[in-house]
């Protein structure tokens, strides 16, 4: 088969790496890819925007691509799967209606409310309801803060603000409705209770009728150690989560994941692709934080290296509605992924800084390097975005995996390189 992967991050490099091992693959392609993906797939620099879906289709037809895997959420929310299907192309991912699970936080919250799925209590306001929203905020009890305010639509991970008092909440609301910081994504907002606890990520394969959970992972969202500083796309991850008890895992599946999947079916939504549950656990009780409609980044980089199975038939079975009787097989080892970010991230990112030392890593079989914001500049690889590289190792223990990852990082250099030193530290003794 000829397979195309859409996207340019560490998640997509990991997908390309895993799919390249499939016995079903002939040729691999990526749009737009990055410097690492280009080492295993033929990359074509088409911007992944709605107005370019036609160009992607032309590329698919020209290269006789049999199957397209969509990495990021934006094209899914914009209906790329519908568009490709209408043009007789097989594509992995939810269609536009199903992708609302990530594309509209209001849509997902309404599902939770209607079907009794545990999540924070929330109210919604449209831009035209600014005055009502201010009145609502003014009537909140000071003691009940913090509250969270979220943009309804996609906001590249930046549309969620935790506010400590009424003034911060009013300022945040003004940011959405008056300053329009998040454009149309902020035309409707959710104000909800803040739930404290720890977060876990559960990626599930779905074929419209059957849902199969993958092993759990944990992501680190803040830029600095000890969860300090601004929010990022994710600075590292590890898998599996051996500290989650069987009872808690059952609650996550039976109170949140399966009820959501069944709710979608009841609403007439045929969910195919990855359903990624972002779960928060407070006092051993799980609550839904958010759903994403695609593989997590950087969770994928910690989860897929542990998957023993050929991933391509799994993805095709999701698309064809033929997941029945699938059982996933996992390595017992522990995997740690650390993200190397560029200078200024997450507020900004630095492009064009020369990355050195990668050649020293490639020879070490225990370490995987998945590129994210990188590009080739004549014979050099340079930074090309906020999250630049993912360094991954698997070992019998998290301690060993961490040692391998952090020893490897010492060999890589670029101007302003930053990374967290505490990824999987809390599970080091497991």
**Minimum CB–partner distance for residue 155 and ligand GLY (Å):** 11
Q: Is the Cα torsion angle 350, 352, 357, 363 positive or negative in sign?
A: positive
DSSP secondary structure string for all residues of 151-213: ESS--TT--EEEESSHHHHHHHHHHHHTS-TTGGGGSEEEEEE---SEEEEEEEEEESS-EEE
Residue count, binding to ligand GLY (CB under 6 A): 6
**Minimum CB–partner distance for residue 131 and ligand GLY (Å):** 33
Q: Is residue 93 involved in binding ligand GLY (CB under 6 A)?
A: no
Q: How far apart are CA 366 and CA 63, in angstroms?
A: 34
Q: Is residue 296 involved in binding ligand GLY (CB under 6 A)?
A: yes
Contacts of ligand GLY in 132-151 (CB under 6 A): none
Contacts of 319 (CB under 8 A, 6+ apart): 67, 90, 91, 92, 207, 272, 273
Q: How far apart are CA 175 and CA 194, in angstroms?
A: 19
Q: How far apart are CA 51 and CA 333, in angstroms?
A: 43
* CB-nearer residue toward ligand GLY: 152 or 299: 299
* CB-nearer residue toward ligand GLY: 18 or 29: 18
Number of Cα atoms under 13 Å in the Cβ half of residue 363: 4
- Cα separation values, 346 from 208, 371, 372, 386, 394, Å: 36, 17, 14, 7, 27
* CB-nearer residue toward ligand GLY: 234 or 273: 234
Q: Is residue 219 involved in binding ligand GLY (CB under 6 A)?
A: yes
* CB-nearer residue toward ligand GLY: 272 or 387: 387
In 87-165, which residue ranges form alpha helices assigned H by DSSP?
100-103, 105-115, 130-138
Among the listed ranges 74-82, 146-154, 294-302, 321-329, the one in contact with ligand GLY (CB under 6 A) is: 294-302
Which of 71, 72, 93, 234 binds ligand GLY (CB under 6 A)? It is: 234
Residues linked to residue 341 through DSSP beta bridges, in sequence order: 387, 418
* CB-nearer residue toward ligand GLY: 7 or 79: 7
**Minimum CB–partner distance for residue 403 and ligand GLY (Å):** 24
Which of 12, 207, 299, 353 binds ligand GLY (CB under 6 A)? It is: 299
Q: What share of the chain is helix, strand, coil (3-state, %, to 5)?
A: 35, 30, 35
* CB-nearer residue toward ligand GLY: 299 or 353: 299
Among the listed ranges 174-182, 293-301, 315-323, 418-426, the one in contact with ligand GLY (CB under 6 A) is: 293-301
**Minimum CB–partner distance for residue 8 and ligand GLY (Å):** 14
Q: How far apart are CA 144 and CA 165, in angstroms?
A: 9
Q: Do residues 257 and 213 lie in contact, with contact meaning Cβ atoms separated by under 8 Å? A: yes
State the binding string over 164-203 for ligand GLY (x if CB under 6 A, else -): ----------------------------------------
Among the listed ranges 58-66, 115-123, 191-199, 295-303, the one in contact with ligand GLY (CB under 6 A) is: 295-303
Q: Is residue 152 involved in binding ligand GLY (CB under 6 A)?
A: no
| Radius of gyration for the chain, computed over Cα atoms and rounded to the nearest angstrom | 21
Q: Do residues 147 and 140 lie in contact, with contact meaning Cβ atoms separated by under 8 Å? A: yes
Q: Is residue 297 involved in binding ligand GLY (CB under 6 A)?
A: yes
State the binding string over 52-91 for ligand GLY (x if CB under 6 A, else -): ----------------------------------------
Q: Contact positions toward ligand GLY, by CB under 6 A?
A: 219, 234, 292, 296-297, 299
């Amino acid at each position: 088969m000829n397979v195309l992967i859409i996207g340019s991050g560490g998640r997509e490099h990991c997908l390309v790496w895993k799919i390249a091992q499939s016995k079903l693959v002939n040729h691999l392609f990526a749009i737009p890819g990055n410097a690492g993906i280009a080492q295993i797939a033929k990359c074509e620099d088409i911007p992944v925007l709605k107005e370019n879906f036609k160009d992607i289709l032309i590329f698919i037809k020209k290269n006789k691509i049999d199957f397209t895997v969509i990495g990021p959420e934006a094209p899914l929310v914009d209906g790329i799967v519908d568009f490709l299907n209408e043009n007789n192309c097989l594509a992995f991912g939810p269609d536009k209606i199903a992708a609302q699970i990530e594309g509209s936080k209001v849509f997902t919250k309404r599902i939770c409310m209607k079907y009794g799925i545990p999540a924070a209590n929330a109210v919604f306001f449209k831009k035209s309801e600014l005055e009502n929203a201010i009145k609502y905020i003014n009537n909140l009890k000071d003691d009940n803060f913090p509250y969270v305010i979220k943009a309804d639509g996609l906001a590249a991970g930046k549309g969620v603000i935790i506010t400590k008092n009424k003034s911060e909440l009013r300022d945040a609301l003004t940011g959405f409705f008056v300053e329009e910081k998040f454009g149309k994504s902020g035309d409707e907002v959710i104000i909800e209770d803040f739930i404290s606890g720890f977060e876990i990520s559960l990626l599930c394969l779905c074929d419209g009728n059957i849902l199969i959970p993958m092993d759990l992972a944990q992501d680190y969202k803040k830029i600095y150690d000890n969860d300090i500083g601004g929010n990022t796309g994710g600075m590292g991850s590890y898998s599996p989560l051996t500290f989650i008890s069987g009872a808690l895992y059952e609650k996550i599946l039976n109170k949140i994941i399966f009820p959501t999947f069944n709710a979608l079916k009841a609403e007439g939504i045929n969910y195919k692709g990855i359903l990624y549950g972002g779960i928060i656990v407070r006092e051993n009780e799980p609550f839904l934080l958010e759903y994403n409609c695609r593989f997590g980044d950087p969770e994928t980089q910690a989860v897929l290296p542990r998957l023993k199975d050929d991933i391509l038939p799994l993805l095709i079975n999701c698309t064809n509605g033929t997941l029945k009787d699938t059982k996933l097989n996992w390595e017992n080892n522990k995997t740690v992924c650390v993200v190397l970010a560029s200078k200024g991230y997450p507020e900004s990112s630095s492009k064009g800084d020369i990355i050195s030392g990668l050649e020293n890593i490639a020879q070490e079989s225990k370490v995987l390097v998945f590129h994210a914001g990188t590009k080739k500049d004549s014979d050099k690889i340079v930074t090309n975005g906020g999250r630049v590289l993912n360094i991954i190792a698997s070992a019998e223990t998290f301690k060993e995996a961490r040692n391998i990852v952090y020893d490897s990082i010492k060999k890589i250099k670029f101007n302003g390189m930053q990374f967290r030193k505490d990824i999987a530290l809390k599970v080091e003794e497991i």
